[in-house]
């Protein structure tokens, strides 16, 4: 049987694994499969990315080039040629699922990727989607297209949804140690999916369907978005009451039950938390359900950059300076500390708002030496070195991402004005909390 033969090859690690999308999710997964002995092919549409990987260079800061080189020595290869998909036994899709300009799900990366693979699919393969999406995507979008290509899902080819749970830069968790949710389109699909991931993930969590797996991923991220929205709103209230919200959170966190600390900030960043709630609210409208709680949290979080802008303007105004013409250094442009990941970073939104207000904007980030080319944000800038002379050139430093590499004592002692959105500094004559 096709089902039994594929499971046997996966268990003995002779099956060839194809990872489609070699970013923050796909590359660690490709390296993990290679590490345990699977032959691995990585697919990506970006020729430059493929060339760098084949030249043994890492694309991501927290993944070393030594790890990439070791995988290359074991036979890992990257390619832009999707016809090679016919040679692999498993295809794991790790491509972006952003929002459209109308804040609706954009499945174009998933569907374009699948359409590129369809001519090369064959019996005896498994396709696993890891991209975050709304419940029903696997069954309503992927399964029919595979069926139209002449392959019977559950008999000839196997389809699963297994959401990524990567946390870039978190040293406490690795690809292998994070439990993995798996839902199959059929029971046979689930069996093959479990065999696929069993060799690379310590704990597998099977669920009853792909729809349940899709909703599980959304619940995880909406839980964070809602709680961050709550603490961001509490920050605004605390500021009006002249109370340090970070002191309050630290005190509340001493309760040994019933409280989980979340930290406020200048807005939401990363590929998941700012985007995923809108996938569910969009799908819920199909059933006449209005997700008021989720949408309210989204409104609060989306408004945080404007709150920070108002604090910057007020702080400069107190020093008889307008935003227009002021030189402002944004400290940290990654979406969270100690990583080079800029996806959906609120720091970049703040840079654009400051530029629109007439400020002269620069940035300093030890993890992002040059502002990269992106589809939506355009700055011809390089990271400013934090020397005494350079700091003296700025009217205001806006602490947006609190990397550990920054010398906060030095900055507080030298800068005439710091607007702190992360609670890293104590309030003083030149430090304003935002």
Structure tokens belonging to residue 417: 């004005």
Q: Judge whether residue 352 has pLDDT over 80.
A: yes
The residue-averaged pLDDT of 290-306 equals: 92
Q: What is the model's pLDDT at position 100?
A: 84
Q: What is the pLDDT of residues 141-176, one digit of tens each?
A: 999 999 999 999 999 999 999 999 988 778 889 999
Name the residue with tokens 């070195």. 385
**Nearest 10 degrees: Cα torsion 382, 59, 403, 167:** 150
Say what the pLDDT of residue 321 is.
Answer: 96
Q: Is the pLDDT of residue 270 over 80?
A: no
Residue 331 has pLDDT above 90, yes or no: yes
Residue 167: predicted pLDDT: 83
Q: What is the pLDDT of residue 279?
A: 87
**Residues 130, 22: Cα–Cα separation, whole Å:** 12
Please report, for residues 106, 214, 226, 254, 299, the alpha-carbon distance to residue 292 in angstroms, rounded to integers and kept in the order given.
Answer: 22, 20, 11, 31, 10
The string over 65-89, giving b where at least 16 C-beta atoms fall within 10 Å of a residue's C-beta and e elsewhere, is eebbeebbebebebbeebeebeebb
Confidence of residue 404 (pLDDT cuts 50, 70, 90): very high
What number is the average pLDDT over the span 6-27?
96
pLDDT of residue 222 exceeding 90, the answer is: yes
- Output the pLDDT for position 247: 96
Residue 201: closest CA among 171, 221, 173: 173
Q: Is the pLDDT of residue 275 over 90?
A: no
Residue 212: the pLDDT is: 98
Residue pair 274/301 in contact by the 8 Å Cβ criterion: yes
99 confidence band (pLDDT: 50, 70, 90): confident
So what's the pLDDT on residue 71? Answer: 97
Mean pLDDT for all residues in the chain: 95
Q: Residue 112 above 80 pLDDT?
A: yes
Q: What is the pTM of this model?
A: 0.92
Closest Cα to residue 164, out of 197, 117, 189, 125? 197
Q: What is the pLDDT of residue 46?
A: 94
Least confident of 79-83, 101-105, 232-236, 248-252: 101-105
Cβ–Cβ under 8 Å, residues 413 and 400 = no
* All structural domains of the chain: 2-208 (3.40.50.720), 276-433 (3.40.50.720)
What is the pLDDT at residue 330?
Answer: 98
Q: Token pair of 288, please?
A: 């006449």
- Asked whether 212 and 190 are in contact (CB, 8 A), the reply is no
Q: Which residues are catalytic?
A: 272
- Residue among 89, 72, 85 nearest 27 (CA): 72
Mean pLDDT, residues 224-238 taken together: 96
pLDDT of 262 > 90? The answer is yes
205/215 Cα distance (integer angstroms): 14
How many Å is the maximal CA-CA distance in the chain? 78
pLDDT for 377: 81
Q: Which strand ranges, in their side-by-side order, compose the sheet holding 396-399?
A: 360-364, 327-331, 396-399, 418-420, 431-433
């Amino acid at each position: 049987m096709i089902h039994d033969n594929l499971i046997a090859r996966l268990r003995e690690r002779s099956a060839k694994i194809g990872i489609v999308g070699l970013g923050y999710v796909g590359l660690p997964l490709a390296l993990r499969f290679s590490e345990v002995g699977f032959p691995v092919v990585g697919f990506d549409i970006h020729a430059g990315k493929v060339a760098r990987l084949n030249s043994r260079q890492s694309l991501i800061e927290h993944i070393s080039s030594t790890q990439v080189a070791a995988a290359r020595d074991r036979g890992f290869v990257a390619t832009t040629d999707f016809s090679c998909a016919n040679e692999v036994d498993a295809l794991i899709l790790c491509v972006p699922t952003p929002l459209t300009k109308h804040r609706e799900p954009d499945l174009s990366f998933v569907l374009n990727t699948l359409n590129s693979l369809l001519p090369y699919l064959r019996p005896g393969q498994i396709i696993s989607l890891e991209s975050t999406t709304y419940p029903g995507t696997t069954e309503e979008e992927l399964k029919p297209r595979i069926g139209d290509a002449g392959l019977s899902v559950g008999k000839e080819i196997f389809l699963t949804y297994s959401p990524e749970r990567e946390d870039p830069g978190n040293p406490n968790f690795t690809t292998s140690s994070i439990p993995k949710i798996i839902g199959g389109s059929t029971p046979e699909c689930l069996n093959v999916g479990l065999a696929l991931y069993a060799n690379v993930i310590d704990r597998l969590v099977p669920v009853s369907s792909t729809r349940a797996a899709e909703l599980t991923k959304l619940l995880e991220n909406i839980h964070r978005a809602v709680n961050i929205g709550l603490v961001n709103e509490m920050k605004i209230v605390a500021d009006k009451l002249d109370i340090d919200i970070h002191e309050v959170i630290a005190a509340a966190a001493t309760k040994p039950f019933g409280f989980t600390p979340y930290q406020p900030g200048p807005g939401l960043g990363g590929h998941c938390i700012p985007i995923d709630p809108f996938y569910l609210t969009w799908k819920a409208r199909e059933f006449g359900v209005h997700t008021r709680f989720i949408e309210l949290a989204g409104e609060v979080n989306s408004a945080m950059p404007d709150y920070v802008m108002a604090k910057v303007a007020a702080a400069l105004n107190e020093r008889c300076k307008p935003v227009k013409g002021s030189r402002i250094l944004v400290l940290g442009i990654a979406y969270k500390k100690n990583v080079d990941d800029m996806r959906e970073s609120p720091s970049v939104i703040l840079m654009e708002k400051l530029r629109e207000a007439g400020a002269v904007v620069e940035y300093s980030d030890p993890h992002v030496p040059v502002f990269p080319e992106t589809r939506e944000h355009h700055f011809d800038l390089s990271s400013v070195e934090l020397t005494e002379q350079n700091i003296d050139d700025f009217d205001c430093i806006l602490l947006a991402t609190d990397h550990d590499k920054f010398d906060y004592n030095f900055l507080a002692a030298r800068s005439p004005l710091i607007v702190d959105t992360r609670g890293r500094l104590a309030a003083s004559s030149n430090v304003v909390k935002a």
